Chains A and B, each alone.
Chain A
C-alpha cells in the first residue's frame, strides 16, 4: 500500500475484507437458493423456516424430465412394484404422482432445452464468422464514413427488442417463419452480429500488421495471409466473442416469447410458463433453472479475463 502503513490503515483493511466477504455471501445466496431448491424434496422447498441444509434428492430432476399425472388415491401396489426405482422414489417422497402408461413419456423440457442449444449454437456460429471478417475489413482497410458505419452497426444492438419484434413478427407471419428455428436464428444472428463486429475489431487491431505484411512479401495473397496468419492469431478473441454471443442467445427472452410458442420455443420463455396457475412445484422449476444456468456459470468462469472487454464492446482492454 502507501509508504506509511499506519496501524489504523491495517484495521481499516481488515474491516474492508470482512465487508467484502459478507457482501459476497449476501450476493451469492440467491444462487445458492435456486441451486439447493433443485435438490430438495418437495416438502422442504416452501418450508417455514427455510431449509438450508438437507439430504439432497434427485426427484426434482426426474419430475422435470418426465410427464406425469396426479393420482387421486394411493397407487396400486402391483403398479408400484413394477415401477422403476426412480418412480418409486417419487412415490416414497409422499407424492401421489406417477408417470403415465407403460412407456416413459418425456416432458417438454428436454425439447425446449434442445431448441435453445440449436438456436444459440447456429446463431453464434453465423454471428461470429461474419463478425470476424467484417472486423478484419474495418481494422485493416480504410473506408469512407468508417466511424458512421461502426456507429450504425452498434446502434442495431441497442434497439429495444420489442421495437424490432413488432415488424419482424408481421414479416415472419407473412413468410411463415413464426415459431421456426430459422426465424429465431436470423434474429439472434442480427442481434449478436454488431457485438461480434465491435469486439472482434478490438482483437484484430491488436494483431500487428507486420505479420501480414511479411507474409505478403513472402508471396502469400491477402486471403491466404488472412486465413493462415490472422485467424490463428485471433483464436482467443474468436473464442471469447463466441462465448459472449452464445450466452446472449441462450438467455434471450423477449424475441423468443413473441416469435415462438411450441415447435421452436426456447427454454427462457418455457421455464416461467411452467408455473401456470395453481400450486407450482418449485423443486421442478428450480431443477429446470439449475440445468439452464449451469452452462452460463461454466462459461463465465472461462471468460473471466475477458469480461470487462465484453461488457464494453471491446473498448476497454485489460
Chain B
C-alpha cells in the first residue's frame, strides 16, 4: 500500500478515530464509483450496441453486425462532410476567438478606468446558456428587421438561411461568447510578464515589434496554448448553438449529425459507432490539454 498521511502511522494521533487509509477510501472511492457507473458503464453499453443494427424505436431482435457500422460510416462521404463542416467551424471560430481575445487583452493590459467592471461585463456572454444565446442571436440576425443588418447597413442579408453564410453566422456568435475567455487567460499571462524586462528592452532601445515578439509573446504563449486547445475541443463538440441557430445542411456539425442519427432517425447502433469515433478524437485532445494544463500549473 502506498504511504499515507502526514503523520507517522504509529503516532497517537493517527491511532485515534478512523485510520487515514479508511478516510481516504471513504472520501475518494464513492466519487470514482459514481463516475464509473454513470460515465464509463454507459459507454461500455454503447460500445456493445455499436456492433449491432439496434434501433431503439422498434421492437425487433438485435442483430450483431460486427464492424459494418464503422465501415459504413467511414465510407460515407456525407459523414466526411460533417467532419469537414466541423473542421471549418473549429478553424473559423477558434481563430476568431484567439485573435480578438488576445487583441482585447493587449488593449486592456494598461491602466484603464473601470477596468475590473469592463472585464467582468465582457465575461457575461460565456457564462450564459449557449442555447439561449443562440436563440437571441436569431433575433439579432433576422434579415428584415434584425438590428445587426441595420447597424452594419447590410440590407436584407439572410445570415442564417444562406447556405454559405450560416456557418460563419454560428461562428460569429461563438466568437462573441468565447473571445473573452481567451482574453481572460491572455490577461493573466500578460500581467505575469515581469515589468523589468520591458524596462530593459526600453533601455536597449528595442522596437515595439521586437519587444512584442521576443518578450511578450514567449511569456504569454503557454496560457495562449491552453486557451487554444480548450477552445478547439469545445468547438469540436459544439451542439447547442449551431442546432438552435440554423437548420442549414452546411451547418450540420458532427454532434448534430450524431443527435439526428440517434434521436430522429433512431439508428441507435450506427449512432453509437459514430459516437465512438468522436469519443476517441475528444479523448486525444483532452490528453494534450491536460498535459499543458499541468505544465502551466508548475510555473
Contacts and interface: CB of A to CB of B under 8 A. Distances in A.
Given A50-B147, A299-B127, A307-B184, A162 B45 contact: no
B99 interface: no
B135 A3 contact: no
Interface in B69-118: 104, 107-108, 110, 112-113, 116, 118
Interface in A10-54: 13, 16-17, 19-20, 23-24, 27-28, 30-31, 33-34, 37, 46-50
A162 B259 CA distance: 7
B58 interface: no
A167 B38 contact: no
A30 B271 CA distance: 36
A284 interface: no
B43 interface: yes
B4 interface: yes
A97 interface: no
A140 interface: yes
Contact of A315 (B104, B181, B293): B293
A6 B208 CA distance: 13
Contacts of A160: 237, 239, 255, 258, 275, 278-279, 282
Contact of B130 (A134, A186, A253): A253
Contact of B107 (A16, A136, A224): A16
Contacts of B158: none
Contacts of B67: none
B107 A296 contact: no
Interface in A76-103: none
Contact of A166 (B14, B113, B271, B297): B271
B290 A154 contact: yes
Given A167-B43, A193-B34, A272-B135, A162 B129 contact: no
Given A4-B202, A217-B13, A286-B136, A162 B150 contact: no
Contacts, number: 293
B59 interface: no
**Which of B14, B27, B226 lies at the interface centre, i.e. has the most chain A CB atoms within 10 A of its CB?**
B27
B120 A187 contact: no
Contacts of B140: 30, 33
Contacts of A155: 283, 286
**Which of A34, A49, A286 lies at the interface centre, i.e. has the most chain B CB atoms within 10 A of its CB?**
A34
A37 B271 CA distance: 40
A108 interface: no
B6 A27 contact: no
**Which of A190, A247, A271, A315 lies at the interface centre, i.e. has the most chain B CB atoms within 10 A of its CB?**
A315
For chain B, what secondary structure do more than half of its interface residues adopt (helix, strand, loop), or is it mixed? helix
B166 interface: no
A224 B23 CA distance: 12
Contact of A301 (B5, B104, B120, B278): B120
Interface range on chain B: under 10, 10 to 19, 20 to 34, or 35 or more?
35 or more
A4 B137 CA distance: 46
Interface in B254-276: 255, 258-259, 262-263, 268, 271-272, 275
Interface string B1-13: 0111111000001
B30 interface: yes
B163 interface: no
Nearest to B121: A28
Contacts of B237: 160-161
Given A3-B202, A308-B185, A197 B31 contact: yes
Nearest to A51: B147
A28 to B, nearest CB: 6
B65 interface: no
A173 B45 CA distance: 14
7 contacts: A163-B282, A170-B49, A271-B131, A293-B128, A297-B124, A300-B123, A312-B185
The 6 closest A-B pairs by CB, nearest first: A221-B17, A137-B27, A251-B129, A167-B42, A253-B131, A216-B13
Given A28-B122, A253-B131, A296-B129, 9 more contacts: A49-B150, A134-B31, A137-B28, A149-B28, A153-B32, A163-B258, A163-B278, A167-B45, A272-B131
